[in-house]
């Protein structure tokens, strides 16, 4: 059983708040195979992305393109697994939906960028603001 299917079965409902240095950073809500991750403070996302990039090492521009491509391929695979399992994950920033991944994604132009129907970019402006 794929991780996405397991995730959809385990997370029935609930809410988790994640704080870093006593500052609320993320609110995670789950209900009926839907998971909303609301970034209240974008610092945690920027730090996670920075750590991920550092772990890849400094490989120059072409290396960065390869890392971005492999990251997108991985993200695409997870999104398609979520979709097949009937699970939807949304990422919001301060309550505004940024990206929808999984079964409820309805991409328009973002399908050409991501190469899948399982990822919808709801707010390109907020996506850039988060640094994704």
List the chain pLDDT tens, one digit each, 132 residues: 566 667 666 777 888 888 888 888 889 898 988 999 998 887 777 777 666 666 655 555 444 545 556 667 777 888 898 999 899 999 998 889 999 999 999 998 878 878 889 999 999 888 888 765
pTM of the model: 0.78
Residues 6+ apart with CB under 8 A from 28: 15, 16, 17, 18, 35, 36, 37, 38
Per domain, the residue ranges of the chain are: 3-130
Q: What is the pLDDT of residue 118?
A: 93
Cα separation, 119 vs 108, whole angstroms: 10
């Amino acid at each position: 059983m794929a991780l996405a299917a397991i995730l959809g079965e385990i997370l029935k409902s609930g809410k988790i708040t994640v704080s870093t240095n006593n500052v609320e950073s993320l609110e995670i809500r789950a209900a009926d195979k839907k998971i909303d991750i609301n970034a209240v403070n974008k610092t945690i996302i920027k730090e996670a992305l920075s750590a991920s990039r550092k772990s890849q090492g400094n490989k120059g521009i072409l290396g960065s393109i390869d890392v971005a491509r492999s990251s997108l391929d991985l993200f695409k695979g997870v999104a398609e697994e979520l979709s097949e399992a009937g699970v939807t994950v949304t990422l919001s920033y301060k309550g505004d939906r940024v990206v929808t991944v999984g079964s409820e994604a309805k991409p328009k132009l973002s399908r050409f960028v991501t190469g899948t129907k399982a990822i919808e970019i709801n707010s390109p402006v907020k996506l850039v603001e988060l640094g994704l």
